[in-house]
Structure 1
């Protein structure tokens, strides 16, 4: 990636989601939030989504009007860009009516900052070009206190054709701007109070949480939560915090959920634990369905060891743990020897845990083969493999760990290791 600018906490990138701009009152509210922050000495770049459900409506109307005729993906991207472009024009107009120097950026203009490849509908930003254009065309405007208003979700190819970045595109735009402007924070304004403890549609008692890491958020995304799309998380700068807040609060300082850290945007293989681990299998009819027994086993393992993972099937429970002196193994055995439901345990020692990570890992076809095939060809046995929250853990003999890590890295790099769509 191109080098990021040194961070300045007075510089903000604020992205307004479609729900926060759904009508005139909300657009006016958004402008007032910006004005308040400017008066407190902030420098702000604004990214906007299409108002309400404009993009969905444009796509629906286009399909009805075309009646099955395929106009070409580039024409569709050009059409869909109109939602964000209209939002940006409107917000810039309202800001200027309040006395703010606001500048609308259009993807057909020479100073447009987001340049992508030509994968229409799911384009990838070309970061070196974005960096140069952001520094040349956006940063100088902010230095003098003006507000750039940039349509999110939209890109442009090097030869001038309009593209769309795909799901999470407006968040991606905001993260790229923050990286190369050196912004101190990205604020995502939406219609909820932040990242919730659960999906409110499924759990009525769900509450907003004050803070979460990007890694944890990626795990929620893999489990079906789509608040920030995994593709967008790839572009979140490591040292720039992201805050999610509700437009109804009427202020950019109104709490919300803070998202810290970054998640790897490329597939990377490394040792998941720096010491040999043990793989302990407990077998017995109904073991996984006996919560009291599972609790006692996990408690015994954690007292004298460190649990790194757990998996199960109908009649067995497998623990992956660090127990250098083997005491955890003896403690687990004491528990199961006194339990009627557990028949026996087996332990394999000196195992290496190799972890492959990357946002959207489960969206990468054939990834298990890219990990296992080079190990099989070299005669390295895999003792276990499991996936959790944008990571794949592979268990091999400790003595061949370095060879296995390098083989996996070579395989990922050979086939191209970009994650996501």
Structure 2
């Protein structure tokens, strides 16, 4: 599709559909860089930095989608003039990688929506290591599309011949959305699920989470490699995370937003579309009286409806715009990840998640990358100390191993609702 405005006599046509959804969602939030896709690529083998810089610039300029911009015309969103992304070549110390990433955050109305830098990172006495930082706005490219862009860059670098990436977005006029499926209470016989989050429940959870914060701490990141019996599923992951959050915050209602993309043939058609996450209020009061199998069965049915609902662009709000920051926690579940960590074995090119990035819409970002029976849990939150996030990681592992709410605290809202005739499973030291 063309990134140029249509015609020169008048303004470009108004943006509609899923493309408009993502731009409007960005404008709703007053936080910067809400929907970016920032990554680092680390090269373990020798790479010519100048040649790599030229390859990145050539690929970005050759893609109309990656040159696209947006302008706001009153209540209308239109395409702006095509931009020429700038790719910097930098010599930096290892500690400066985070600074490079932060300096290249992008807002949806910025004049350029893709920013990149090839960095020569000092490595003591040896030659510098080469890193590529690329930050593309989610309005242009999603995580899967970003892999196409990076592979085109590496192919261009190796061959010396321009390789244009596969178009990250669907051709105009194509149908790549799935109608939303609204989960009803009947679909989950145990836990109560509200498609429209109860305001008091949401505020109580957000207040409990805020009590864990230490202002001025900065961004906390905790990563844990987990091995658990059997092979975890999306249902068991969500069934472990929700009670862990309840125990962590000492509250019995948890507000979580979860999205799935490309997991089933039905929602795979929507990969490339923007995924708008909708909040769910999960009341743990109902979970306490259920067995682990009942919880998993109910959450499994919920997961099926979420998979369809989350990939469908939501209709515009009828009564103004609502800040997405009221969601609370987002769960990013990657089973046998669609985004490969190794991009090019011949160059030793590996994708590295940008640990400095926090999605400003959410108070806490939980990412679970699963391969077989193993999981890598990544918890990210602003003003949440590593020690506090570590406690949540321990609670999640405990719930995943023992089953939802099999181990309860002696006090707190969940303990008051626990059946004393059914003792909890003791927590291993």
TM-score scaled by length of structure 2 = 0.28
Structure number with larger C-alpha Rg:
1
Highest RCO, 1 vs 2 (Cα 8 Å, sep ≥ 6): 2
TM-score normalised by the chain length of structure 1: 0.28
Higher helix proportion: 1
